[in-house]
Amino acid sequence: MTKLHFNYKDIFRAFRLGFSAKKIWVGFEGLLFGWLGYMVLGYLAYLVSGTGIAAVWENFRLLPMPDAVAALPAFNVGGWILWAVGVVWLVFAAMTAGVAISKLTYEQLRGDEFFEVKEAWKQALKSLGALIATPVLLGLFIVLLLAAGLLLGLIGRIPYAGEMIVGLLAIPAFAVALFVVYLIVVFFFTFTISPAVIGTTKSDAFDNLFEVFSCVNDQPWRLVWYQFLLVVFARVGIAVLAFFSVKALHLGRWIVGILMNVGEAKASAQVLYKLDFMINSAADTVRLVLPRWVEQALFWLPNWVHSGFAWIREAVALPSLVSSQAAMIPNWSVMVGTILFSIFYHAFILFVLGYGMAVWFSGNTLVYLVLVKKKDERNLLEIKEEEIEIPEKLEVTTPAEEAKPTPKKKAPTKKKPTAKKTTRKTKKG
């Protein structure tokens, strides 16, 4: 069992705990499943809004975004609903993978280095209902309180009496509004720490919600500070792994190109080798176009944040060999190779993001262990799981059988001892 300090020092273990093939693979699977669902729903959203598939592919490739290109029409109501469902699908797919990563981390900290990925996914899928119900229940309660505010607004429209009623209820209304703000904060943390709670304690929705409230109430500053550290750690981990992975791609391209490009003569500077063409064409299928409202939001951030985003984009930039891909008509084998390279590029991106997910959810597992120790004086690593013994055979009796009187057993009768026949020997004479 790993001995923790139960303070901020433990959060730095997230880099090492996240750098695990099993956890990166779980993060890869969760992101792949979520991204495929988001992509399908994003294309459907544009189709419902009257935009063709070719136009969406030309602008977004495999990651459609709303309100990102001025040339395309905006979503209608159906398009926004489909896109919102795609976002929810992606979020909960990532959170389900987060439960599995938290379970792997928890068992690793308890000393089980060989806990299987299959068992972690089984636990995550079994707890899917609690994972979804936690933010949904809290969100419905927030909506209910906001609806009460709308009802108060309708009451305020009553002539003469409405103004007085609103004035009398001003202080309670302010208290409710302040409580709603508090619930929104808790709602945000249900997406960050809930997977760790479920992965370590196997809690249901109400227990999970109680633990989130308890962490926010009892340890708010530690929770916020640790979450800030994990955001920094996850981004640094993604950038560092992406930087070295891109360098590995350049190295592999150089080694393979030594012999693959032998004998190919360039007719002009605009003509690419076959390998270069496949790499550039595959890289062109990866495109990220942010919505305009996201770019406007990023505009107000400090300069050092923009520098950080630029550094990450440069770190994850895919190899680009020349600016032009013209003057080459590839044959069918080159096109097949381009498709395979494109699949590899997307897998490479999911691999890098999977490490970020492993760092984030492994770190949140450490955060929850530290917070439970601080607020409840409990070390969850020392708690043994209850072993439930299942009887081999259960006797089931019907009500009719229970009503019948049980026959009395006769007491065993004792047998009387039989007299032994004795023979006497008489002496003659």
User: What averages of pLDDT result for each successive group of 10 residues across the chain (429 residues)?
Assistant: 89 94 96 96 94 91 84 88 96 96 95 93 94 95 94 90 91 94 96 94 91 94 95 92 89 82 50 74 82 68 60 52 48 86 92 95 96 92 58 46 53 52 45
CB 282 within 8 A of CB 345: yes
Gap between the Cα atoms of 362 and 30, Å rounded: 15
46 contacts: CB under 8 Å, gap ≥ 6? 53, 55, 56, 64, 72, 75, 79
Q: Would 341 be classed as within a structural domain?
A: yes
Q: Would 15 be classed as within a structural domain?
A: yes
Q: Which spans in 6-116 are helix H? A: 14-18, 21-48, 53-60, 77-109
Q: Would 46 be classed as within a structural domain?
A: yes
Q: Would 402 be classed as within a structural domain?
A: no
Tell me how many domains the chain contains: 1
State which residues form the domain around 274. 8-382
CB 133 within 8 A of CB 190: no
Predicted pLDDT of residue 351: 95
Q: Give the CA dihedral 245, 250, 254, 256, nearest 10 degrees.
A: 50
Q: Would 420 be classed as within a structural domain?
A: no
Q: Would 286 be classed as within a structural domain?
A: yes
Predicted pLDDT of residue 306: 57
Q: Which spans in 261-291 are helix H? A: 274-284
DSSP, collapsed to helix, strand or coil, labels residue 411 as coil
Nearest to 316 by CA among 397, 389, 372, 240: 240
Q: Would 269 be classed as within a structural domain?
A: yes
CB 366 within 8 A of CB 13: yes
Q: Would 395 be classed as within a structural domain?
A: no
- Sign of the alpha-carbon torsion through 15, 19, 22, 24: positive
Nearest to 119 by CA among 385, 355, 351, 354: 385
Q: Is 178 exposed, middle or buried (0-12, 13-18, 19+ CB in 10 A)?
A: exposed
